[in-house]
A and B are shown apart, each in its own frame.
Chain A
């Protein structure tokens, strides 16, 4: 691993540490409209937009394990969800070139909704029966909006402090992504 890659890995790791600290200290303590933002997922999407699907999937994997540990859930559930989210968000971002903060926010909101949908299906199948449609209105949609709204300022901040690069404004070629 050359020095440049090491630097990128260090920055992404820093983002992860920031995510853990912020999620544990701040975000999980604040409930808006009855829901709490998912900073790990938001950052996974931001990494996907700025770094590409592979880095986002890796970030999501580690962030998911940390989240599962923090929330004392079966290990691997969120890791799986975030890996899928990061990878596909990265692919979509590469093709559609979400460079502006509100574009990233829209992608994060959508990704949040899909991730929660998958998570909800998982809960529905594996866990105790949940009122899926009720959760759609009271959990999935509000959290998707909240995650989206949180994404824009966080993306701007992380780019400003140069922990992450600005998202490419041009769509990548087939199979492309930021590296």
Chain B
């Protein structure tokens, strides 16, 4: 009887709809401790271990799927990251440069504040923009010139990272030998033509510190009867009219004597590492202060 069958089927359908709505209504209306919620929570409690187990069992497959899925975008991601890495490396290098420059400038500032410069000395901080192309000469070019008050025969000091144990890294660099409005040439104290009137602290030894083509600093014209010990600090004596007195030059590393020479041969290691010199200060000493003659 098809008609009865259809009726039966529709009746069941209506019953199911009503049952669903009834359960839904009760579920919404009753409190959390009601019977429908209690049954649901009990059944959920039965299912939850299955769900937990299922989640654990499926994890390797999920990871595998995720791995395959991300493989598609991995190439693009790698390209993007490589580009980003390049940019960040550039940034890092720039920051490192800035940090180093900051450190050097701070050292210069400290030198300026703590150094024993003549009263009223003004300072012109300059960047090193060029260096002598051969080892036969030792000079640098700086980015400050006559327009900034720089003149020939002014002393130049600097600060570099420490070059050895106990060395301050701050000291005499050289003197200005040529000037243009916006640049100047500074001959370093290690140049073979350089000579600086100097004295050894802690003794009455005085002499001339001379440069050489090998980069060695030698203090000459020190009488043999004067006692000079290694590790003593050598500073400018102020004689000669170019360098103010008491500017640190370097440290005595060895003291030698030769029978044929009436003077000691004192080797001096400069405080400045001229290989890494990037900023210097030109000393603008007021004429009244003098530079020791």
Residues of A within 8 A of B (CB): 20-21, 24-26, 28-30, 53-54, 57-58, 61, 64-66, 68-70, 72, 74-77, 79-80, 83-84, 87, 173, 175-177
Contact = CB atoms under 8 A, between A and B. Distances in A.
A54 B17 CA distance: 12
Nearest to B7: A175
29 contacts: A24-B50, A24-B54, A25-B53, A25-B54, A25-B58, A29-B54, A29-B55, A29-B61, A29-B62, A30-B58, A30-B61, A57-B12, A64-B20, A69-B40, A69-B43, A69-B47, A70-B51, A74-B24, A74-B27, A75-B24, A75-B27, A75-B37, A76-B21, A76-B25, A80-B20, A80-B21, A83-B16, A84-B17, A175-B6
Interface in B50-86: 50-51, 53-55, 57-59, 61-62, 65
A20 B9 CA distance: 26
A175 B2 contact: yes
B23 A57 contact: no
Contact of B23 (A29, A76, A173, A176): A76
B44 A30 contact: no
Main secondary structure of the interface of B (DSSP, over half): helix
Contacts of B61: 29-30
Contacts of A28: 51, 54
Contacts of B27: 74-76
Nearest to A22: B54
Interface centre among B6, B13, B37 (most CB of A within 10 A): B13
B40 A75 contact: yes
Contact of B16 (A26, A29, A61, A75): A61
A54 B13 contact: yes
B136 interface: no
